[in-house]
Structure 1
Amino acid sequence: MTSARPDADRPVDGCGAQRPTGGAVTVDEAERWARAAWSALAEPGDVVAGALLDALGAVEAWRWLLEAPHRPPAHLDGLGTELARGRLVRAIERWTPRAAVLAAHGWGSATPAPEVAPFVAPGTRGGPAAVHVLVPGDARWPVGLTDLGAAAPACLWVRGDPDALADGADRPRRAVALVGARAATAYGERVVADLAGGLADAGVVVTSGGAYGIDAAAHRGALVRGGRTVVVAAGGVDRAYPAGNARLVEEAVATGGAVIGEVPPGALPTRSRFLQRNRLIAALSQVTVVVEAAWRSGALSTAHHAARLARPVGAVPGPVTSMASAGCHRLLRDGVAVCVTDAAEVLELAGPAGAAAPEPGDPRGPRPLDGVGPREQRVHDALGTRRGRPLEEIARDAGLTTRETATALGLLELAGAALRDASGWRTHA
C-alpha cells in the first residue's frame, strides 16, 4: 500500500481537466478514481490488471475484486492469454491483501482517496506544482502509451503541465528520450547536454528518468536552452529521487515541463518499478537515444522497450576502450540502434515536424539484481535489511502469492541475495 504525506502548502489542481477542443472523450470521474485505485493496487506493468480494466472498466473491476473475486465474470473467458483463468486466479491472490487495505482507506470510491485528496483537491489554487490524474480518454493522455497494450498504466499522476505530454492544437507533440548511465563520464554528459540543447531548440520535449549522470545532464541541457523536459519517476511524483536532483526536477516543473509517474504520491521507487518505468520513457517518445551505457546498464532496457514498440533507437558511440560505452556499442553491433552523433541526426530519426548501475545503497540510485527476473526483484525489494520478515508479509508487500514469493526467495537465496534466519527472510549482508 502506498502512503502519502502531503505538504499542506503545496499548490493543487483539479485532476485530468478536459480541454474544450480536440474532441476528447469525457471521462467519468468514478472511472478516473477507480483507475487511481488500481494504480495503487497493481504493480506497474501488470498485464493481467491492464487486460481486466480493458475488459470490465476500472469501476466494475474494482467492485468485482472486492465483492466476488472467486467468481470471475464468464465473459472474460476467451479474451486473451492475459485473462486466462489460471493467470487471473494467481493475480487475485496477489491483489486481494492490498485491495482490502486500500478499500479500508477509501480507495476505489468515486472521489479521491483521503491519502491523495490533498494533492488533487478540485477547485483550489492551481500552479506548476499541481497534481493531475490522467486516464485514457483524457485530451492530454499520451497516445503513445496505447502501444503498450495491456501493459499500459492504469493512469498517470502528473505534477506540472500535462500539455507537455499531449499533442498541440496545430501539430503533434514531438519527444525524444535521452537515457544512459548514472555513472556518466565527462564525455557522456557533454554529448547529452549538446543533444538536449539542440532538440530543445527544435521544439522537441526531452524525456528522461531524473537520475544522476546522463539523465540529469539531459534535463539540464534542455532547460538551459529554454526547452521543456519531462521527468518519468519510478515512485510518487511528490518526491524527487534521487533527492539530490530535487532542484532540477522543480525547475523542470516550473518551466512548462512535468514529472510523471504511474503510482500514487507517496509510493516508493523500487528496483522493479525502475525497470518498468523504462517502458514508459520509451512509449512517451518518438525516438530513444542511449548516450552512454555500460554492458549491463538499465538504460539498455529502455532501448529494447523502444525497439519492441517499433520506435527508432539511436546510440552514441564512445571510445572502444571505454566500458562506459560498451552498452552503446552492443546496441550498434546487434542492430538494435543506429549511430547518432548530434541533434540533427536524432531529428532525422524522429521524422519531420508533425509527423553500469550502482550497487544497492549507492547514493546514485538502485539497479536491478544481476541474473534474476522482475518477480525476484520485487521480492528482494520487500525483504528486511536488518531483521527478517515472514513469508506472508513479504508476499503482501511484493504483491505476489505466497507460492510465487517462496519460489522467488529460493532463487534469491541461491543467488546469494537473500538469507533466512530465525526471524524470517532478509537481504544478504
Structure 2
Amino acid sequence: MRRTLLTLSAVLLTAVASIMVYVQPSSAATGLHVSGTKIVEANGQEFVMRGVNHPHVWYTGQTSSFANIKALGANTVRVVLGSGKRWGPSTDVASVISLCKQNKLICVLEAHDTTGYGEEGAAASLDEAVNYWISQKSALAGQENYVVINIGNEPIGNTNAAQWIDATANAVKKMRANGFEHLLMVDAPNWGQDWQYVMRDNAQTVLDADTRHNTVLSIHMYSVFNTAAGIVDYLNRFQAKGWPLVIGEFGWRFNSGEVDDETIVAEARARGIGYLAWSWSGNSDPILDMTLGFDPNQLTTWGKRIFEGPNGIKATAKEATIFGGTTTPTPTPTPTPNPQDCSATYKVVGQWAGGFQAEVRVTAGSSAIKGWTVTWTYANGQVVTNAWNATVSGSGSSVTARNMSYNGNLAAGAGTTFGFLGSWNGSNSVPTPSCTAV
C-alpha cells in the first residue's frame, strides 16, 4: 500500500511538472507577441503599428520606398508579396526583411494571392498561402523580433464567408506545426471588411487554434466603414471581448460614401490600436496613392492626411525598441497656435434627472477654414447618446466631434453650432473644449 501511494505521488508530481512546463508566462514568447489586447516586443514594451502598405510584388524595383516611408515617420511597413498562384512568387523575402531592418521598420509580410478566395476564381487558398510561407522559412527563421507574418490578404470573399473560421484556424495550426514562432496576423473575410461579422463573432475559435497564443486579428476598413458610429461599434466589440486587433488596411473619405478615415485614426490613437494605411503608390485607382509616382516629395491629399494629420503617423508613431527606440511614451506635443485655428464654447441648454442637452459653438479664427474637429474630456462620467450637425464619437471620457459636409467651411470669424443629448449621474460639470482646423 505504501509503495502504491509513493507511485501515485510520483505520477501526480510528474503531471504537475508537465502542467508547469506547458503553462508558460507571456514573457517567454519569442520576439513580437500578443499580450492581452496589445502587441509587445520581446522586452515587454508595447508596440503600436503606425505605417503604410507597400505594393512590392508589383514594383520590385521600388526598393527606395522603404527608406522614404521611414523618413516620413512610419514605424511599420506592410509588404505585398505573391505566393506564385497569382503573383510572384516572391523569393526575395530575405532582401525585403533586410530593407525593413536597415530602415528600422517592423516588417508585416503578407501573401496577396488569397484575396477574395471563394468568390475570386484565381485566388489561392489559405492552405496554399501557408505552403508559400513554409517554402520561405529559411529567410523567416530567427526574424521574430522584426517580422509579422500576415498569412493571407483578405482571404475569403463574400461567397460563404463562414468558411473563414475553419480555413483560418487550420492555417494558424499548420503554421505552428511547421515551427513558425512569429506573431501571426489574420485578415477578416468579406474582402477584409467583415460586413457579415464572421470574424467579429467567431474570432475566439481562431485565437484558440494558436498553440502559441500569438495571433492578432486584422480588419480592413473601406466603404463599409463610412460612419463614425459603425467604426466605434466595431472596435468596441473587440475591445469588450479582449481580442487583439489592428487596422491592416484603410482608405480615406474622398467622398461622403467612403471610409471615415478621421474617425479611424482618432479611435486607433485613443485605443492604442495599430493602423496600416493603403497604400504608398502604384494603385490602378490613384485616388488611394499617398505619393505621385513613388515620389515622397509629392504627397497626395491622402498622403498628407495620413502622414501629417493630427492623429497621423508623424504625430503618433514610435520606433520599435529593437531598433533603439525610446522605452517611454512620447508626450503629445502642444499644438502651435495657428491663425487658421478655431475656437469652441460648450454650454448646457437643458438638464433633467439623468439626462441633458448641450450645444457647442465653433468659430473660425482670423482665416477661413475648411473643416474642424472639437474634443473635450468629461470629468464626471457623462456620455453623449445622440448628436446632430456633427459626427460625434467617444472613447472613455474623451469625446471627439467633427464637422458635417455642410458646416465645415467657415469664413474668418464665422461660426456654426452642433448639439447633442447626453446622460449624467451625480454631477454634470461643463468641460473645456478645444478646436482644431483641418
Same fold by TM-score, threshold 0.5 exceeded?
no
TM-score category (smaller protein): under 0.3
Identify, as 1 or 2, the structure richer in helix. 1
Q: Which structure would you say has the larger RCO, counting Cα contacts within 8 Å and 6 or more residues apart?
A: 1
Quick check: which has more Rg, 1 or 2? 2
TM normalised by structure 2 equals 0.25
TM normalised by structure 1 equals 0.26
